[in-house]
Structure 1
């Protein structure tokens, strides 16, 4: 008899992804207010945001082994509570060093929940006969969009930043604790662990290849996040309001693509999703590079977002399924490398603009997408070694 699908755990995972996207998005829309309240410069803020990114990376590496030791059912609610507490502090900061401490805490909490929820998503996906990972990532985008609406409303009402972020923190803590009871524990049973052969350990080279592709794909995503609107305004000469459609077309296509990816992946497999997705992304960004027309460039950004949309979820899913005994630690490596790419992309493009035009600098992520096309075979399913329990996919 077929085991019932863990629908409650799937919905709970949707909630955590949405919650994380909402929390991060609400912080992002309040960055200008926090900058003014602390009296710091743009350059100082840039340095402190690097602190946030570094703390997130550390949180990811800590969360991975903890997920394998404690189980995701314990770690994910704890990570949500940690993130909720961390949300209180950026709005209370009144100097560069208090903001630095706040972002250190906030980054660590965000990195912890990032690995915990992705690791749990892999566990839930194992119990389904089809891929479901990309939809979780789409819910993160929905959470960010909801944060933009709520943030616009609270900022318009001139509600203090500390009040808004603290209320979001309380909301995050309560939802994390309530939702945690529906999660699954993905740790293998003791008899399964002892039965596995040493040869079942995944290749280190394979883990690094998955991480390298995640780095390339998320670097490209970071470029779109920070430079799409500026390209439309500075290179194509559009107004600020029209330039917003550049990032908007990318973000909408990314979200829609993630909702559609799971059904496509069930038909063609993860290799095709990454290979043809990266190829489409390279084509879309090439249109942006060479287009003299605004709306053709917007079309390029949409194709770029659509191409990238399914790649990262497939990579995270592949990493989490390499070895059930160390699923969290393996996930942390790949997610961490992807996150480094997300942070590095905007800075890399900014540095290159000192020597070459902005649109020409976009050829770097184009080349990285083409490299991902060539290495997409690393996601091909591999035979399960003798002695290792077969997981349901």
Structure 2
């Protein structure tokens, strides 16, 4: 399999997720988010080992598409459920939830590598992870909010005023969500860019040897996970405006340090600042999407998730085009500029 074929297969994964995210809100509205979490999680658990058994490219494309659909469904459902729980208990938790997601990804990759290093065949390692996921879903399902409870929370925190159900009012609510989605697109774009381009940047512009080029993304992702675990305290002590605007400015500064620094140590500090600044922007946007008056989170969260995930998928390609026509430095500086745009939009919006 060449790089082009691999790219097309990964496009099937992303396409499945993007297709399912907007539809997930409809199903969440009909049966509740915990039901969608259960079904999507079970599908993901079943399909995961199959990915390691398929050898035909066309069949692999179909399996990846199904896996992407399950990931898209569970992503929207978990964020919607998290927002509902946050509204119910009356204190911020979304940053912590996203932080645990980051920690889970880190431990998942380390755990899978450990199982394989211990001599476990990759397919058996995948089956082990799938079984753990199924057990977790079954054991925790009843502890999640019921459909009826979710409806009560929506009525309490997103009340619909019949006098506002007009074309003008509807447009206002829709634009509110789209603006959040646009800012989420930019935040996710930076994550995708760091994953795909940070190693190349360190190799080509900082002279880092190939075996150590992953250190930039590692610094970024660890800083992001740590800051997200502290993010709810920041939102409580400060406010969402300070967290988003301050975080955007810090992220922009971090990128400029990465680009301009002549020393690797300072470059890594730039990656850390980028992770710290960008960490809590997305959780705040999801939280706000779940508290828009007159609009259910089952409508707002799928839109925000879809636009954000689109940024993560399309962002690296957009930066690649900029790098091709100009340079990778200009591409990174574009991300810094976009974070300034987020800060400006949020300041005007608030």
What is the Cα deviation at residue 189 of structure 1?
7.8
Distance in structure 2 (CA, Å) of the matches to 1:324 and 1:354: 45
In structure 2, the partner of 1:390 is none
Q: Judging by fraction of residues, say which structure has more helix.
A: 2
What is the Cα deviation at residue 314 of structure 1?
0.4
Q: 1:187 aligns to what SS in structure 2?
A: helix
Contact 1:206 1:378 in 2 (8 A): no
What is the Cα deviation at residue 271 of structure 1?
1.8
Structure 2-normalised TM-score?
0.91
User: Which deviations, in whole Å up to 9, do the C-alpha atoms of 1:270-300 show, x marking residues without a partner?
Assistant: 1221111011100100111112211111111
In structure 2, the partner of 1:135 is 96
Q: Which deviates the most, 187-196 or 363-372?
A: 187-196
Distance in structure 2 (CA, Å) of the matches to 1:325 and 1:318: 11
Residues 287 and 74 (structure 1 numbering): CA distance in 2 closer, same or farther, change over 3 Å? Answer: same
Distance in structure 2 (CA, Å) of the matches to 1:370 and 1:377: 11
Residues 191 and 233 (structure 1 numbering): CA distance in 2 closer, same or farther, change over 3 Å? Answer: closer
Residues 334 and 194 (structure 1 numbering): CA distance in 2 closer, same or farther, change over 3 Å? Answer: closer
Distance in structure 2 (CA, Å) of the matches to 1:83 and 1:89: 10
Q: Which deviates the most, 287-296 or 321-330?
A: 321-330
The residue correspondences of 1:150-229 to structure 2 (distance < 5 A) are 150-185=111-146, 186-188=150-152, 196-199=161-164, 203-229=173-199
Long gaps (5+) in structure 2: none
Q: 2:62 aligns to what SS in structure 1?
A: helix
Residues 191 and 256 (structure 1 numbering): CA distance in 2 closer, same or farther, change over 3 Å? Answer: closer
Residues 350 and 284 (structure 1 numbering): CA distance in 2 closer, same or farther, change over 3 Å? Answer: same
What is the Cα deviation at residue 110 of structure 1?
0.2
Long gaps (5+) in structure 1: 1-39, 381-393
Distance in structure 1 (CA, Å) of the matches to 2:126 and 2:253: 40
Contact 1:219 1:343 in 2 (8 A): yes
In structure 1, the partner of 2:326 is 356
Residues 333 and 224 (structure 1 numbering): CA distance in 2 closer, same or farther, change over 3 Å? Answer: same
Contact 1:250 1:301 in 2 (8 A): yes
Residues 331 and 323 (structure 1 numbering): CA distance in 2 closer, same or farther, change over 3 Å? Answer: farther
The residue correspondences of 1:26-175 to structure 2 (distance < 5 A) are 40-175=1-136
Aligned residues: 341
What is the Cα deviation at residue 119 of structure 1?
0.3
Q: Which deviates the most, 196-205 or 248-257?
A: 196-205
In structure 2, the partner of 1:318 is 288
Residues 190 and 292 (structure 1 numbering): CA distance in 2 closer, same or farther, change over 3 Å? Answer: closer
Distance in structure 2 (CA, Å) of the matches to 1:206 and 1:161: 45
* CA-based RMSD: 2.1
Q: 1:353 aligns to what SS in structure 2?
A: helix
User: Which deviations, in whole Å up to 9, do the C-alpha atoms of 1:4-40 show, x marking residues without a partner?
Assistant: xxxxxxxxxxxxxxxxxxxxxxxxxxxxxxxxxxxx1
Distance in structure 1 (CA, Å) of the matches to 2:174 and 2:161: 18
The one of 241, 252, 265 aligned to 2:211: 241
In structure 2, the partner of 1:277 is 247
What is the Cα deviation at residue 228 of structure 1?
1.4
User: Which deviations, in whole Å up to 9, do the C-alpha atoms of 1:163-213 show, x marking residues without a partner?
Assistant: 222322222122112111100131138987997425176611111100000
Distance in structure 2 (CA, Å) of the matches to 1:48 and 1:323: 40
1:265 aligns with 2:235: yes
Q: Which deviates the most, 314-323 or 165-174?
A: 165-174
Q: Which deviates the most, 124-133 or 311-320?
A: 124-133
Q: Which deviates the most, 333-342 or 138-147?
A: 138-147
Distance in structure 2 (CA, Å) of the matches to 1:378 and 1:134: 23
Residues 159 and 137 (structure 1 numbering): CA distance in 2 closer, same or farther, change over 3 Å? Answer: same
User: Which deviations, in whole Å up to 9, do the C-alpha atoms of 1:30-81 show, x marking residues without a partner?
Assistant: xxxxxxxxxx111111111111111101111121121122112322222211
User: Which deviations, in whole Å up to 9, do the C-alpha atoms of 1:348-378 show, x marking residues without a partner?
Assistant: 2222222222222111111110100101147
Structure 1-normalised TM-score?
0.82
